[in-house]
Amino acid sequence: MELRARRQTGAAIKALLGLAPKTARVIHDDWSEVDLPIGRVQAGFRLRVRPGEKIPVDGTVLEGASSVDESMTTGEPIPVEKKSGDRLTGAMVNGTGSLIMRAERVGAGRVPPVGPDNRNGDHRISCETVSGAGCRINLCARR
In angstroms, rounded to a whole number, what is the distance separating the alpha carbons of residues 98 and 101? 10
- Three-class secondary structure of residue 37 per DSSP: strand
DSSP-assigned beta bridge partners for residue 65: none
Per-residue pLDDT of the chain (143 residues; tens, 9 = 90+): 888 887 888 777 666 666 778 899 999 999 999 999 998 999 999 999 999 999 999 999 999 999 999 887 788 889 999 999 999 999 899 999 999 999 998 875 554 433 344 444 434 344 444 444 444 445 555 44
CA distance 80 to 60: 14
Q: How many CB atoms lie within 10 A of CB 67?
A: 15
pTM of structure: 0.66
